[in-house]
């Protein structure tokens, strides 16, 4: 009987060894350890044994059962481990796979220029303000000393919305609006960036819609030297310390005297080149001392107050800084153009 039991143990262990999954293991368990299994059967025959043999065989039977049981457990655990390993292997993330790049936007070159210029003037104590793009004839023209029959209105062909409303042709109306808000009391120190509109045919240097930044400083004792100092500080901060400025007499209805501000050419350093049309200078903005009538119309006493104003085209500042050759690039939203500014 002992031999038979040992045989059965061998058999069972072999089958456990061969079993490839938990289902097969379960079959082995039922087959050898079940109530109807061969071991039980062998042990049932113990009745015929002598008193001395019985415990020996009984003990052997237990040993065989335990050995099979133990091996079954081991194998079950092994199969579970293998299954887990396999699962982990299949679910592994390949961390070396390159990620999908995040699409980064870029600031529009006009936005960066506006922000940069704002920062410079904020540094000099100016406040950033805004005004409406659909403007009344009064603010756009009359309050700027351009009465209805003034010939200088021709300089700015306009888009009228109604007989009294138009798309503003300049940011200058914000001068009047800001002064009105201050109710005749200085100081007024504002800059105003914004869109303006003119009836122009679009080409490399013209656009029916473009951007300006207006500046105004009104207080007691403001002189032309203040205008020059503020604009020189601005130009040197924006274009570079080495750049020079020059004021050239000009005409604007809302300033007296009026001037154009030129900056020494950054390409040829004043020698003369294609960019500055061989003059050594580049015109960048219009400016002047606020006309007494403009002060008066907006509630400031020209006997007490004086001021200066300036207006610049943002596109021009951007063209000059980034070497862009066509104003239309700013408005056609060509990604190849815009992507060049991701690092600006």
The gap from C-alpha 175 to its chain's centroid, in whole angstroms, comes to 32
Give the contacts of 293 (CB within 8 A, at least 6 positions apart). 145, 302
For ligand DAH, the closer CB: 197 or 281: 197
Only segment of 17-25, 160-168, 229-237, 307-315 that touches ligand DAH (CB under 6 A): 307-315
Q: Phi and psi (nearest 5°) for 48?
A: -85, 0
139 counts as binding ligand DAH under rule CB under 6 A: no
- Residue list 4-33, contact with ligand DAH (CB under 6 A): none
Taking a C-beta distance cutoff of 8 angstroms, is the pair 153, 159 a contact?
A: no
172 counts as binding ligand DAH under rule CB under 6 A: yes
Interface residue with ligand DAH among 288, 305, 306, 315 (CB under 6 A) is 288
Q: Minimal CA–CA distance to 207: which of 308, 51, 56, 330? A: 330
286 counts as binding ligand DAH under rule CB under 6 A: yes
Helix (H) or strand (E) holding 250: strand 245-252
For ligand DAH, the closer CB: 25 or 259: 259
CB-based closest residue to ligand DAH: 311
For ligand DAH, the closer CB: 12 or 214: 214
287 counts as binding ligand DAH under rule CB under 6 A: yes
Interface residue with ligand DAH among 143, 191, 309, 319 (CB under 6 A) is 309
Give the contacts of 310 (CB within 8 A, at least 6 positions apart). 214, 215, 227, 231, 261, 285, 286, 287, 288
* Distance of alpha carbon 189 from alpha carbon 187, whole angstroms: 6
Only segment of 99-107, 108-116, 127-135, 309-317 that touches ligand DAH (CB under 6 A): 309-317
217 counts as binding ligand DAH under rule CB under 6 A: no
Taking a C-beta distance cutoff of 8 angstroms, is the pair 114, 314 a contact?
A: yes
Provide the token pair at 266: 């950054």
Task: Give min distance, CB of 315 to ligand DAH, in A.
Answer: 13
For ligand DAH, the closer CB: 239 or 252: 252
Taking a C-beta distance cutoff of 8 angstroms, is the pair 210, 312 a contact?
A: no
Only segment of 178-186, 228-236, 308-316, 322-330 that touches ligand DAH (CB under 6 A): 308-316
Interface residue with ligand DAH among 214, 239, 320, 327 (CB under 6 A) is 214
* Distance of alpha carbon 324 from alpha carbon 262, whole angstroms: 19
Judged by CB under 6 A, the number of residues near ligand DAH is 11
* Distance of alpha carbon 197 from alpha carbon 187, whole angstroms: 30
297 counts as binding ligand DAH under rule CB under 6 A: no
Neighbours of 94 (CB within 10 A): 5
252 counts as binding ligand DAH under rule CB under 6 A: yes
Neighbours of 81 (CB within 10 A): 10
173 counts as binding ligand DAH under rule CB under 6 A: no
Neighbours of 41 (CB within 10 A): 12
Q: Phi and psi (nearest 5°) for 49?
A: -85, 165
The answer to the question of whether 256 is labelled as a binding residue is: yes
121 counts as binding ligand DAH under rule CB under 6 A: no
For ligand DAH, the closer CB: 170 or 264: 170
255 counts as binding ligand DAH under rule CB under 6 A: yes
Residues that bind ligand DAH (CB under 6 A): 170, 172, 214, 252, 255, 286-288, 309-311
Q: Cite the annotated binding site for Mg(2+) by residue number.
A: 256
Q: Cite the annotated binding site by residue number.
A: 256
């Amino acid at each position: 009987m002992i031999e038979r039991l040992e045989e059965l143990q061998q058999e069972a262990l072999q089958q456990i060894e061969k079993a490839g999954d938990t289902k097969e293991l379960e079959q082995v368990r039922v087959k050898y350890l079940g109530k109807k299994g061969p071991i039980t059967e062998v042990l049932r025959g113990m009745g015929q044994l002598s008193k001395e043999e019985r415990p020996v065989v009984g003990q052997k039977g237990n040993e065989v059962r335990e050995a099979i049981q133990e091996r079954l457990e081991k194998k079950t655990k092994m199969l579970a481990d293998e299954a887990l390993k396999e699962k982990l292997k299949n679910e592994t993330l390949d961390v070396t796979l390159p990620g999908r790049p995040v699409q980064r936007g870029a600031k529009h070159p006009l936005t960066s220029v506006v922000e940069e210029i704002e920062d410079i003037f904020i540094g000099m104590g100016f406040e950033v303000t805004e005004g409406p793009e659909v403007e009344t004839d009064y603010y756009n023209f009359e309050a700027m000393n351009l009465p209805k029959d003034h010939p200088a209105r021709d300089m700015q062909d306009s888009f009228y919305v109604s007989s009294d409303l138009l798309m503003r042709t300049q940011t200058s109306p914000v001068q009047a609006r800001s002064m009105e808000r201050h109710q005749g009391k200085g100081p007024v120190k504002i800059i105003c960036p914004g869109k303006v509109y003119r009836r122009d045919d679009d080409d490399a240097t013209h656009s029916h819609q473009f951007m300006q930044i207006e500046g105004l400083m009104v207080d007691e004792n403001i002189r032309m030297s203040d205008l020059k100092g503020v604009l020189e500080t601005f130009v040197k901060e924006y274009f570079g310390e080495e750049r020079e400025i020059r004021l050239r007499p000009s005409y604007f209805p809302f300033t007296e005297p009026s001037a154009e501000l030129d900056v020494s050419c950054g390409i040829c350093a004043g020698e003369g080149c294609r960019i500055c049309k061989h003059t050594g200078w580049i015109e960048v903005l219009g400016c002047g001392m606020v006309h007494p009538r403009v002060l008066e119309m907006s509630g400031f006493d020209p006997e007490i107050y004086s001021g200066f104003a300036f207006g610049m085209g943002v596109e021009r500042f951007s063209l000059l800084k980034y070497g862009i050759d066509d104003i239309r690039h700013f408005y056609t939203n060509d990604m190849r153009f815009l992507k060049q500014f991701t690092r600006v």
